[in-house]
A and B are shown apart, each in its own frame.
Chain A
Amino acid sequence: MLENFALRREVADSLDEVLIGQLIAVLVDRGYPMVGITSDPDHHSLRFRMQGDPVLYYLSATLHRTPNKLARLATLSLTGQVKNFMARASELVDFYANDHKRLVQSPLQGGVTLSHQLNSVLGTVTRQVRLDRATEEGSLEDMDQMVEGVLVELRQVLLPFKR
C-alpha cells in the first residue's frame, strides 16, 4: 500500500498536514466527530458535526495551503453553522423576513462574517496560524486554545439566529 503515499514528503514538507492533524485531534477530543474531508493542492477542508453543542450544528475548517515552503504563516478559516429545523411554513417565512434582513444589514459582527443559506446561518472567522511552530512542543495546546476562542466567538454571534 506504500504506493498510495507521498513518501518523499518529510515533516518539513508536511507542516500544513501537521496542523490539520492537530485541529482534528482537538475537535474530536471535544466530542465533535469529523464527518467530511477533502484535500487538493490548494486547500484542506474538514467538517465536524457539533453534536451536543447548544448553538452550532457544523463547524467547517479550511486551511489554505501555501506554495511557499519558507512561509511562516497559513490561513485557517473556521465556519460555524446554525441549522434551524423549521417544520412550519410560517416559521420559514418569518425567518426570511427577520433574520435574513438582519444579516443583509450587518453581515460583519466583530471578527465574524455572516452569511445565510436556506435554513442555515453561517459565521466565519479567519486566523493566521504559525506553520513554523507546528512541530514544537505546546503547539497542540495552542491549537486547543485557538479553537476554544473561536467557538466562544461563533456561539456568541450566532446564538440570536438559533431557533
Chain B
Amino acid sequence: MSDDEKEKTFAELLEHSWKRYEELFHNERMDDVLLGAVVASCVRDGYLLLDLSSDGINHYVRFEDPADHTRLIFRLRHLAEELAVAKVLGHLAEVVIGYGQRVEKLGTRWSQLRSEVKDAFLVTDEPGVITFDADLSGGYLYAQIPLLLDLDAYKKKDLEVDVQLIRRHIDSTVHALKQVLQGRLELVGV
C-alpha cells in the first residue's frame, strides 16, 4: 500500500468510528435531552425550578408556579439505554408527573385518602393509575401519574426535541391531575 492509500484507509476508519460513536452518544444521552426539554417546557410556562437531582437511574425535578404556588414534580427514567434495545423498541421513558397544591387540614384529608388504599398488591406504576402523596411539612397534597413516553415522537433533527409538543403533553396531564386532585378533595371534605 502506498502512503496515500494508508492515509485514506486510516481516515475511513476514523470517520466510521465517529459515526458509530455518535449513535452511541445519542442513545446514552436521551435521558439528559428529555430532562432539558422538560425543564425548558416548564420554565417557558412560567414555573421556577426548585429542585434538580439524580440517583444515577432517575432524574428528579420540582417546580413552583410563582402565581399560585402550585407545584409540579417529575421523575424521568430512560428505559432503553442499550443501543440494541433502543433500535428494536425505540426510545422509551418512564415519566411520573405530579401536581401539588397547598391544602388546609392536610393531615386529616391525607389520612382519609390514604385509608382508601388497603390492597397491598395494588399496582401503582401502571399508566393511568393516579395516586396521591403528601408533603406534610410543606402542606402540599400531590396527585401523580406514571406515563410511558415514546421519545422518538419528540425528536426533531438529531438530538433536538419538539419542546412545544412536550409542553402540550405536560399541560394536558397537569390539567387532568388538577381536576382529579380538586375533585377528590371536594369528596373527602374535612
Contacts and interface: CB of A to CB of B under 8 A. Distances in A.
**Do most interface residues of chain A lie in helix, strand or loop, or is the interface mixed?**
mixed
B137 interface: yes
B126 interface: no
B43 A140 contact: yes
B185 to A, nearest CB: 18
Interface string B26-52: 000100110111011011100111111
A21 B73 contact: no
Interface residues of B, number: 51
Interface string A39-83: 100001000110110000000000000000000000000000000
B133 A1 contact: yes
A7 B36 contact: no
Contact of B29 (A1, A9, A36, A90): A36
A49 B160 CA distance: 9
B43 A24 contact: yes
B119 interface: no
A152 interface: no
Interface string A119-156: 00000000000000011000010000000000000000
A146 B74 CA distance: 29
A94 interface: no
A2 B142 contact: yes
B171 interface: no
A17 B52 contact: yes
Interface in B41-86: 42-44, 47-55, 58-60, 62-64, 66, 73, 75
A11 B63 CA distance: 9
Given A1-B98, A21-B39, A89 B50 contact: no
Q: Ordered nearest first, which 5 A-B pairs have the shortest CB separation? A: A34-B36, A21-B49, A87-B11, A28-B40, A25-B43
Given A17-B52, A34-B36, 18 more contacts: A1-B96, A1-B98, A1-B133, A1-B144, A4-B58, A5-B73, A14-B51, A20-B49, A20-B52, A21-B63, A22-B43, A28-B37, A28-B161, A29-B163, A33-B32, A33-B33, A34-B32, A85-B18
Interface of A: 1-2, 4-11, 14, 17-18, 20-22, 24-25, 27-29, 31, 33-37, 39, 44, 48-49, 51-52, 85, 87-90, 134-135, 140
6 contacts: A25-B39, A37-B54, A48-B36, A51-B158, A88-B11, A89-B10
